[in-house]
Amino acid sequence: MRLKRRIVTVGVCVACGLALAACGQQIVARVQASDSVHTALTGVFKSPTTRFVVTAQDLPGAAGLADGSFSVVITTSREVQGDQSAANEGIEFSVYHESTDLADIISTGGSEYFRVDLEDIFALASPGEFATVSSELDALAARPNLGYLHDILLGDWVGISTSTYEAVSRQLTPELPPLPSSLSALQELNQNLQKVKQLGLTVSSALMQAGRTWASIRREAGDEYSLNLPLRPFASSLVDELTKPVEAFLNKPSLPPAEISKMLAQIPAGLAFQANFWVSNGLVTKIQAFIPRTSAYLMIDVSHPATPVAAPSGATTLTAANLTALFGDLTPTTTKTLSSGGGVLFRLL
C-alpha cells in the first residue's frame, strides 16, 4: 500500500515537474520571441535608411479594386555626412499602379519636389479626358511665369524650397502674423520646437512600452512571428502614460477621468490588432497587418539599408513669381481649368 502511495506521489511530482518545465519553456519562448521582434522593429526605426512597400489585400466593397494593383512606397533617410553633427533627413512617397509610377513626392534639404503622371492617372480615373485637360493646361502654361506647367504635363520633376513657399503663403494671406523677428521671439519659437520634439519622443517611448506590456508574441514556423495586441488595455496604458506629458505640453488639464474611461469603454473588449512579422538576421523583412474585424490586411515589405533620399536631378525650381502667377490671380477660366482635370495639379501644389 505504501509502495503504491510512493509510486503515485513520485508520479504526481514528475508530472508537475514536467508541466512546470513545459510552462517555463513556453514563457522563455514567448520572452525570446518578444525580444526578437522588439529588437528587429527597433532596428528598422534606427536604420539610417529604410524602404517600405505597402500593398493591400481583401479590401471590402469597391476598395477591392486596389487589391494588389496599387502600392505605396515610403523611403526614409537620415544620413550624417562626414564630421557634421546634423543629419540630412529626407522622406519620399511614391504611388504605383502595378509597375507604373503614378506620383512621387520628396522632402529633403529644405525643399519639396513632386512629379505626377497625369496621363496614366486620367487613364485610370477618366479615360479620354486627359486630352481636354492637357489642352487647357497648355493654354494656361503660355501665360507669364506658368511655363513650368509643361514640365508637370510631361511628368518631369518640379521643386520648391520651404522658404519660398512660406513667403508666398504670407503674401497671399496677409492676415497671418509675420514670423517672429526679435531674438526673444526666435528663442521662444525654438523652445516650442524643442517641446514638440520632446513630446514626440515621449509618445514613441509610450507606444513601445505599452506594446511590450500588452502584445502577445510567439514564434511560428521558420522566421515568422505572430502578434496579438488587445486594443482596450493598450489604449488605457497609453492614456495613463501620456496624460501628464500632454497636459504639460498644452499647459491645461486634460479630459476628466470619467470622460476618458467612457471613451475607452467604447473600444470593444475583445477587439485586438493582429500582425505577422518575418525576421531574418535580426532584421524585419516583412509585416502583415490585419484590419480588425475584416479579412483585409496590409502587406509591408521592409528593406534597410536602402538608397538614401536625394533631391531629383534636373528638377524645375519654382520661384515666388511662379506660384503667385498661379494662385495670386485666379481668373474664372483658370479656376474652371483647375477644377476640372487640373484639380489634381492644384491639390499637389
* Residue 178 grid coordinates: 509675420
> What pLDDT, on the 0 to 100 scale, is given for residue 189?
61
Alpha carbon distance, N-terminus to C-terminus of the chain: 91
Largest separation between any pair of C-alpha atoms in the chain: 109
- Asked if 79 contacts 88 with a C-beta cutoff of 8 angstroms, the reply is yes
Long-range contacts at 289-297 (CB < 8 A, ≥ 24 apart): 292/231, 294/58, 294/60, 295/58, 296/56, 296/57, 296/58, 296/59, 296/60, 297/56, 297/57, 297/58
Neighbours of 161 (CB within 10 A): 16
How does pLDDT run across 167-192, given as a tens digit for each residue? 777 776 654 455 555 556 556 666 77
- The angle formed by the CA atoms of residues 84, 200 and 49, to the nearest 5 degrees, is 45
In this prediction, residue 196 carries a pLDDT of 79
pLDDT at 228: 93
Count of Cβ atoms closer than 10 Å to residue 206 Cβ: 17
Q: Cell numbers at residue 300, please?
A: 509591408
> What confidence tens digit (pLDDT) does each residue in 276-335 have?
999 988 888 999 999 888 889 999 999 988 889 999 999 999 988 888 887 654 444 444
Instruction: Identify the pLDDT of residue 335.
Output: 43
Q: What letter represents residue 77's amino acid?
A: S
What is the C-alpha to C-alpha distance for residues 168 and 268, in angstroms, rounded to an integer?
A: 47
Let me know: does 277 contact 211? Beta carbons within 8 Å: no
Neighbours of 71 (CB within 10 A): 18
Q: CA gyration radius for the chain?
A: 28
